[in-house]
Amino acid sequence: MILCLRLCLRASRSSFFSTSTSTTNNNSSLSLSKLRFLFLPSSTLPPQPPNLESHYAHLILTSHGYNPNPNLNWSPHQFRPLVTDPDLLIRVLAMIREKPEIAFHFFKWLQNQRDVKHSLLAFAAVLEILVENDLMIKASWVAERSIDLGMHEIYDLLIDGSVAFDKGITRRILDLFLWVYTKKSMVEHCLSSFEKMISRGFLPSVRLCNIVLRVLRDKKMVHEAQEVYRKMVRHGVTPTVVTVNTMLDTCFKAGDLVNVPEIVSEMEREVVPNVITFNTMLDSCFKAGDLQQVAKILSEMERREVEATEVTYNILINGFSKNGKMEEARRFHGDMRRSGFPVTSYSFNPLIEGYCRQGLFDEAWRVVELMLDAGVSPTAATYNIYIRALCEFRRTDDARRVLLGMSAPDVVSYNTLMHGYFKLGKIREAFLLFGELIVRNIRPSVVTYNTLMDGLCESGDLETAQRLKAEMSRERIDPDVKTYTTLVKGFVKSGNLSMATATYDEMLEKGIKPDRYAYTTRIVGELRLGDTDKAFRLQEEMVAKDHNARDLITYNVCIDGLCKVGDLEKAIEFQRKIYRDGLVPDRVTYTTVIRAYLEKGRFKMAKVLYQEMLRKKLSPSVITYFVLIHGHAKVGRLQQAFQYSGEMEKRDVRPNIMTCNALLHGICKAGEIDEAYRYFRKMEKDGIPPNKYSYTMLINKNSDLGKWEEVVELYKEMLDKEIEPDAYTRWALFKHLDKDHASREVEFLEKLLRS
């Protein structure tokens, strides 16, 4: 038996370490030399009243109730000395150690007493009793309680051997503390505890190391995860397939492909990769847009005879669909069905979403019919994909018809369509939809209110947005960090920084912790006002309060802000700092700086950055190509614009209406009207229907050339296709007439064409 009695016999002077709840944090000032003062020979201890420990031990055991109320018979008055004297408590705990569950219940009861004095050694003593008896759930409660009280010195007591516990028990308690730190995501204590354990020869189990790595992965702390991985391997903790999977996932999620070969090499030596390993690699490659690596991984799976699972197929279907490779997605969907795996809405929905993203709604609907043929009923999520995509293509009327056709629309269906209306500035329609949601007894969510408030803030109606926040409280829907961030963003946009700050402060007063998006919104506000110093102070505050390194989103926001205020050199400096924080710039980072270079007319540097992207195996997005095409076309560099359009096609990046309009604008500006018409018709043929801006550009150019018949034909075609002209379209139509004539001509023309 472990001699906890040693603690008791030598603890008579441990009141030196006892503090009230209000002074618990002062324990951090105790040195280990003082802690060893507790372990003096028993002859040096002052005498104690005889049988006091026996009296309280007997009282605890005989008055202990039974679950669910084991402490019903205990009263603070009865056990007053144990509440206020940790030394006596330790000795009593030693006497009832044979009844560990009662010892735990009594200790837990003590923690609820108002004036209990906490002691490092009392917590250590009860932990030793519980761990020795394998009561690990109860021990974890004690460890978590000590951490909540800020008594982190217990870890040092155990590590330094200042308490005479068996080494095996000590290691298990240390493991327990490390596990609690991971559970509470206390990253700094996690890393510190791991380092101390490794350095003192208490090797954490590989399972615990894997948990630490997962915490670091979720916090996107790539550099720290790599350090922990290297140390565990160097000190003899053999990685498992879970370790390797976690590390691969960490690297892929952060876009750090440099260290992947090293991890794979380690995997080859230490573990046999399983299907989970390959699934992790496939999923990460899809997220990174590295489709070439996907093919290599599939070949390696085949070479190792690793059978694909249902999860593998769903990753492949989802990954190829999201990357616009619908032929491959359909092929793997067919393979999945032929392999006998059950197909569900999770297998079909990615295909529907993939087609919808490309505007191929007929193809998407054919997948729905395929679902029905397979006996799989479309879910609300299936229809919500349709509604969201139609809204993104500004087809809110069609989205409305889909919602009306649903047998059981949910709150997400309404939220999505409301968001679509707001994006088009259709505030009235959005609020009518909100009323319909209430009538149908679908309870609005915090997302519903956030969507309404976001739309109002975008339109500048901050007063109504604030009234909605008050309504949330009346409806017992708690505003969240997004609610406050939306208002902050609205006030920033309107230039009312004092109200933005007041709203942000109110959020803090409500105990709502600002997330990175909230901080980033404030940073954007300061950057828009040109106060870069305050923006960077906010960034430092975010890092200090989160106890995390800066993430890539924050860096990208700062770089974008610096580019917009014209400080390109500082933006480049920030891009370099990304590497120093253990992160890797992504395509958003590169696209932002490329745009800034193009706006400054530095085309050569923009090309250098584009080529650097390709060397680093970062797949340029459709936004990247839009920036490059638009940047060259608008200044008459049509040849270069078409070169990037060709690059986009060669890399299987599907053009969208923005990239097409950018080229069309360049062609029109160059005066090549025949070429503009050819390209306009090609857009339709390629499945990219021209929009209001496409027609307006052609109308404007024909108007400049005096081709009135062409202008009227284009305007009629717009109306026939139910494309609503805006004020700029009408200006382009009659810009060569005087104002009075123009208004009459527009009214007459529209009546004529609509008749």
Higher per-residue confidence, 83 vs 681: 681
- Contact in structure between 246 and 210 (CB atoms under 8 Å): yes
Asked whether residue 99 is assigned to any structural domain, the reply reads yes
Instruction: Express each pLDDT in 555-594 by its tens digit.
Output: 676 777 777 767 677 777 766 666 666 667 778 888 888 8
Asked whether residue 408 is assigned to any structural domain, the reply reads no
Q: CA angle, 455 as apex, 550 and 404 as ends, to 5°?
A: 120
- Calpha distance 16→19 (Å, rounded): 8
pLDDT at residue 26 above 70? no
Look up residue 426 and give its two tokens. 């259709």
pLDDT at residue 629 above 80? yes
Question: Which pTM value belongs to this model?
Answer: 0.53
Q: What DSSP line would sit under 178-197, residue for residue?
A: HHHHHHTT-HHHHHHHHHHH
Give pLDDT, residue 413.
94
Higher per-residue confidence, 136 vs 223: 136
- Calpha distance 493→436 (Å, rounded): 30
Number of domains in the chain: 1
Supply the mean pLDDT for the chain: 79
Of 593, 607, 601, which is closest to residue 560 (Cα–Cα)?
A: 593
Give pLDDT, residue 86.
84
Give pLDDT, residue 331.
92
Percent with pLDDT over 90 in the chain: 20
- Contact in structure between 426 and 449 (CB atoms under 8 Å): no
Asked whether residue 74 is assigned to any structural domain, the reply reads yes
**Residues 6 or more apart from 419 whose CB is under 8 A from it?**
391, 451, 454, 455
Give pLDDT, residue 582.
63
- Contact in structure between 647 and 625 (CB atoms under 8 Å): yes
Give pLDDT, residue 745.
56
Give pLDDT, residue 67.
53
CB atoms within 10 A of CB 397: 10
Q: How many CA atoms lie within 13 A of 372 on its CB side?
A: 6
Range of the domain at 63: 1-21+49-189
Q: What is the residue whose two structure tokens read 């926040």?
A: 469
Give pLDDT, residue 546.
54
- Calpha distance 507→482 (Å, rounded): 10
Higher per-residue confidence, 387 vs 304: 387
Q: According to the per-residue pLDDT averaged within each range, which of 52-66, 219-233, 555-569, 601-615 is highest?
A: 601-615
- Calpha distance 80→668 (Å, rounded): 90
3-state helix vs strand vs coil in the chain, percent to 5: 70, 0, 30
Instruction: Express each pLDDT in 156-172 by its tens digit.
Output: 778 777 676 788 888 88
Give pLDDT, residue 16.
30
**Residues 6 or more apart from 435 whose CB is under 8 A from it?**
none
Instruction: Express each pLDDT in 654-675 by its tens digit.
Output: 888 899 999 999 999 888 899 9
pLDDT at residue 261 above 70? no
Q: How many CA atoms lie within 13 A of 353 on its CB side?
A: 18
Helix orientation angle between 587-599 and 622-633, rounded to the nearest 10 degrees: 10
Distance between alpha carbon 422 and the CA centroid of its chain, in Å?
Answer: 25
Asked whether residue 43 is assigned to any structural domain, the reply reads no
pLDDT at residue 25 above 80? no
Amino acid at 617: K
